[in-house]
Structure 1
Amino acid sequence: MKPTIPQGTRDFGADTVRKRNYIFSTIKTVFELYGFQPLETPAMENLETLMGKYGEEGDKLIFKILNNGLGDPRNGDKIDKAKIGFEQALEGKNSKDLTSRALRYDLTIPFARYVAMNHQQLPMPFKRYQMQPVWRADRPQKGRYREFYQCDADVVGSKSLLNELELVNIYATVFQKLKVDVEIRINNRKVLAALADICGGAEKMIDITIAIDKLDKIGIEKVKEELSGRGLNETQIQTIESFLNIGGSNEEKLQQLKTIFAGNETGLKGVEELEYIVQYCQQSTVNSQPVLDLTLARGLNYYTGTIFEVKANGVQMGSIGGGGRYDDLTGLFGVPNIPGVGISFGVDRIYDVMSELDVFPKEVVSGTKLLFFNLGEAEVAKAMELAQTLRSQGVACEVFHENSKFDKQFKYAEKKSIPFIAVLGSKELEQGVVNLKNLATGTQQQVRFDDLVHFSW
């Protein structure tokens, strides 16, 4: 049987892992600069922790884990519970005997669960970052995988909009360091809630946001069709279309919103929050000016205030970052009144964008700097000694594992993109030198043993 991997997953070779680690390291460094501390949660959560938290569309994409077949042997339980669960599923019933756990869909809900369980011991506001894989039963395509990493930063226990400002600055700083030109887009769910108010009431909120969130993918006409299918009438749909067509600068958009929502307290509060962020970002020393995008909805139900999305300029790719404010996420777990706001980096998409733009630093993919050829027992003994000295100085090097023909040892160096080889034969051993060859330029020189540690690699 030909070996394969599950659709929507990938293997990563050395060069890819090094590039990904460069992205992780850059993001982590910026998170730490802003006072965030690391957290890790399990790959799987109890099913009830995840279900009902991501909206109708999201719940369909949760990977459920089948329970193991036997009950608890400590209780003498030998019943095949999975079989019973399947039988109940065929009857249209839910069964914990079939599945009671699921792979995490994102990092936000597990984080909220963690805060709910530990809030009495945590410093408030609590600032954490988390960099782990998540799983979604989505249809694989360019930039969309079933297993992928997220890098999140969240602040809970504070309603201050200073947190939103810092998260915008984190986005701007990270992408400047990665040399990716981006557009940071913002909107506010209070504005969208107010739009729902004037289009038939709060119960229309989810229908409207789910449809609007698809605008980039399906276009305005399909969005209007979906809104109609969700029960909105022609007048309401026209109101939404007019809202989505608001244009101009950030300031001009804000002014038009003030006119639309005059007398609507929720809408004006959302506009006020957006105005605060826009004005303060203009004064930032980081080039972080966000763009007010009224088509931005982010279909997750738990957002209540500012929402973020980041797109790379000059590349055909979906969002490479997103997030928002959630004022009662831990309330889902019986611990109300802990507000929060957070952002996420889509590392897999960022990797694809950076590859397409060719902005990875060349040194990122470098591994072994020097390969000592294996030319005999005495020579290898000295090569091992020299290699260990170089390693103690931070120079990555190897000694070829066997005394083989030069051609075989050269090919090994070439396949691993090792830039230098060191030839140490009996003659060189007597003279206390190695013949050092640069494989990229073909130049060769003799270097004394004691001078190797000072060589410019």
Structure 2
Amino acid sequence: MAVQKPSLPKGTRDFGPIQMARRNFILDTIKDTFRLFGFQQIETPAMENLSTLTGKYGDEGDQLLFKILNSGDFIKDVKAEDLLSGSSKILPKVAEKGLRYDLTVPFARYVVMNRNDISFPFKRFQIQPVWRADRPQRGRYREFYQCDADVVGTDSLVCELEILLMIKRVFGKLGIADYDIKLNNRKILTGISEVIGEKGREGELCVAIDKLDKIGWEKVQEELTQRNFTQDAVQKLEPIISLREDNQEKLEFLKDFLSTSEIGLKGISELEEVFSLLEKYGETQQHVDFDVVLARGLTYYTGAIFEVKVNNVTIGSVSGGGRYDNLTGVFGLDGVSGVGFSFGVDRLYDVMDELGIFPETGLDKTKVLITHFDEKGFLYGLQILQKLRSKGISSELFPETGKIKKQLTYADKKEIPYVIVLGDNEIQQGNVSLKDLNSGSQETVSLEKAIEILLTK
């Protein structure tokens, strides 16, 4: 019988030890920041009832849900005539569950089911994989991690402030220096469409404007004309597109531009308050860019909109979010507003990889390997191993007796920086020989001294 060659499902991947150490560095930095700001972690199951998931992501989203076949004889309820009616008739009879598509809908379900036990405002974060039956391509996977933080049950703009602060802290700790947090407000976009005489069409307006970076203003004008925006409306839009001033000047310009739109002015005052809170907190507007044409999530965001871009790398946005008015309405609980955002962990990994800024020290690496020549050295090594680990030094004892060269090759391959060599002299005197594999220097010292050296490196 031919041996089957192992393979992975398309759009999934393994993470080896180095990748995991780097991913953990990113995730630990994010978790540490969330906790510092008072967010609490929750987890929800990998699978949800299909009734929870369907109809929440639009028709396209429904197509991309991974369905799970019922256990046992899953076709027992399917009749011959069902087969003629197509998959929509068969699906409810063979599958009741699906893999989660994002973390937002499970979070909404969690809030509704636990609303009597949660203290509002509720600050939660969640870091788990999600699954989408998408066509795999570079940077797009069928299984990937999402990393969300949301505050629900308050309209306070302190939440928006904290999102800016958390992004700044995470990027500072990761060593990413050249980035922009693009910030806008949905109400401003609504106001712009009112003022140019195309009320209620901000969705279409933004789809076109969103392509500005890629195709330029000329082509965007053509697209707006094709979408039946009047020439007058397109002309009125011109000064918005060419705004290049700093945040304050943009706000002043828009106060005038949106003077006839009540909702537009409300958006401006919300943004002004966020900037004012930032100042009172003692932070600057560095990295924060008021982007008048930033548009994302228009079907659900109602206030602030965020998007984070790292400059001079090939990857686009690495984080985004916004404020929404009605998280739990689909599950029959109205009036739960909130604000949330997520870090794209996979994208952050790719950015840091491209910039070459992962720290190479201390990423899940063994610090010292104990080597020995014979059984006697092995047994002495066991005692030393216990003492090293009790001091929190990650250490290994080579598990077999044999040539020292083989043991050193192992240390080399695992990038272990230090080796303890135990020969007869060391055993008799109760000392150890500590060798620094990077410099090649070696000294015979007491175990206490060796521990001291290892703890300071």
After TM superposition, is the score higher than 0.5? yes
Change (3 A) 1:275 1:51: farther
For structure 2, the residue ranges without an aligned partner over 5 or more in a row are none
Following the alignment from structure 1 to structure 2, what is the Cα–Cα distance between the partners of residues 85 and 70?
A: 20
2:411 match: 413
Q: Which residue of 1 aligns with 2:33?
A: 30
Residue in structure 1 matched with residue 156 of structure 2 by the alignment: 160
Query: Matched residue of 2:366: which SS?
Result: coil
**Secondary structure of the structure 1 residue equivalent to 2:25:** helix
Q: Number of residue pairs matched? A: 449
Contact 1:305/1:326, CA 8 A, preserved across alignment: yes
Are the counterparts in 2 of residues 325 and 342 from structure 1 also a CA contact under 8 Å?
yes
Distance change >3 Å, CA 39–CA 79, structure 1 → 2: same
What is the alpha-carbon distance in structure 1 between the residues aligned to residue 217 and residue 93 of structure 2?
44
Pick aligned residue for 2:337 from 339, 354, 366: 339
1:286 maps to what in 2? 283
Q: Residue 5 of structure 1 corresponds to which residue in structure 2? A: 8
Please identify, of 106-115 and 411-420, the stretch whose mean Cα deviation from structure 2 is larger: 106-115
Q: 8 Å contact 1:152–1:344 — kept in the other structure?
A: yes
Which residue in 1 is equivalent to 2:70?
A: 68
Decide whether aligned partners of structure 1 residues 7 and 238 sit closer, same or farther in structure 2, where only a CA change above 3 A counts. farther
Q: Taking structure 1 as reference, are residues 363 and 321 closer, same or farther at Cα in structure 2, changes over 3 Å only? A: same
- Which whole-Å deviations, capped at 9, do the CAs of 1:268-323 have from their partners, x for residues lacking one? 11121122223332444234542111221113521110011111133232111110
Alpha carbons of 1:236 and 1:56: their partners in 2 closer, same or farther (altered >3 Å)? farther
Question: 8 Å contact 1:213–1:299 — kept in the other structure?
Answer: no
Paired letter, 1:301: T
| Partner SS state of residue 404, structure 1 | coil
Q: Go from structure 1 to structure 2 and tell me whether the alpha carbon gap of 1:296 and 1:48 turns closer, same or farther (over 3 Å shift).
A: farther
Task: Name the CA shift for 1:214/1:99 in 2 (closer, same or farther; >3 Å).
Answer: farther
Q: Mapping of 1:253-402 within 5 angstroms?
A: 253-289=250-286, 290-299=288-297, 301-402=299-400
Amino acid of the structure 1 residue aligned with 2:69? N
CA distance in structure 2 between the aligned counterparts of 1:104 and 1:343, rounded to whole angstroms:
18
- The answer to whether 1:20 aligns with 2:27 is no
Query: Do 2:78 and 2:93's aligned partners in 1 also have CA atoms closer than 8 Å?
Result: yes
Deviation at 1:214?
4.2
Letter in 2 for 1:446: T
Please give the per-residue CA displacement for 1:55-90, whole angstroms capped at 9, x wherever unaligned: 566x26733224236458xxxxx7165998765435
Instruction: Give the C-alpha shift of residue 232 in structure 1.
Output: 4.3
Q: Between 301-310 and 5-14, report the one with greater CA deviation.
A: 5-14
Alignment of 1:416-435 (within 5 A): 416-435=414-433
Amino acid at match of 2:168: A
Report how far residue 383 of structure 1 moved. Answer: 0.3
Residues 1:145 and 2:147 aligned together:
no
Shift of 1:132: 1.4
Instruction: Return the offset for 1:240.
Output: 4.9
Work out whether 1:95 is the aligned partner of 2:98: no
> Partner residue of 2:106?
110
Decide whether aligned partners of structure 1 residues 354 and 104 sit closer, same or farther in structure 2, where only a CA change above 3 A counts: same
Matched, 1:79 2:76: yes
Q: 1:114 to 1:223 in 2, by over 3 A?
A: farther
- Give the 3 Å change call, closer, same or farther, for CA 294–165 of structure 1 in structure 2: same
- Closer, same or farther: CA 134–210 of 1 in aligned 2, 3 Å: farther
Change (3 A) 1:376 1:82: farther
Look up the equivalent residue of 2:108 and give its one-letter code: A
Aligned residue for 2:91, secondary structure, equals: coil
Query: CA separation in 2, counterparts of 1:247 and 1:272?
Result: 20
User: Quick one: distance in 2 between partners of 1:201 and 1:214?
Assistant: 21
1:176-187, aligned counterparts within 5 Å? Answer: 176-181=172-177, 182-187=179-184
Q: Do the aligned partners of 2:374 and 2:402 also contact (CA within 8 Å) in 1?
A: no
Deviation at 1:165, TM superposition (A): 1.0
**Correspondent of 2:130 among 125, 128, 134:** 134
Residues 1:452 and 2:450 aligned together: yes
Q: Is the 8 A contact 2:368 2:419 kept in 1?
A: yes
Shift of 1:235: 4.6
Q: Identify unmatched segments of 5+ residues in structure 1.
A: 73-77
> 1:316 is paired with a residue of what secondary structure?
coil
2:146 corresponds to which letter in structure 1?
Q
Q: Which moved more, 1:353-362 or 1:25-34?
A: 353-362
CA RMSD, 1 decimal: 2.8
Whole-Å separation in 1 of the counterparts to 2:169 and 2:78: 51
1:173 corresponding residue in structure 2: 169
Aligned to 1:75: none
Deviation at 1:139, TM superposition (A): 4.6
SS at match of 1:455: helix
Contact map agreement 1:67 1:97 (CA 8 A) in 2: no
Q: Which amino acid aligns with 1:14?
A: P
Shift of 1:452: 3.2
Matches of 1:27 and 1:445, distance apart in 2? 40
Give the TM-score taking structure 1 as reference length. Answer: 0.89
Q: Is the Cα–Cα contact under 8 Å of residues 67 and 82 in structure 1 kept in the other structure?
A: no
CA distance in structure 2 between the aligned counterparts of 1:328 and 1:235, rounded to whole angstroms: 35
Post-superposition CA distance 1:215-273 (Å, at most 9, x none): 44454455555555655455545555554333322122223322332222221111211
| Aligned counterparts of 1:65 and 1:83: Cα–Cα separation in 2 | 22
Contact persistence 1:188–1:307 (CA under 8 A): yes
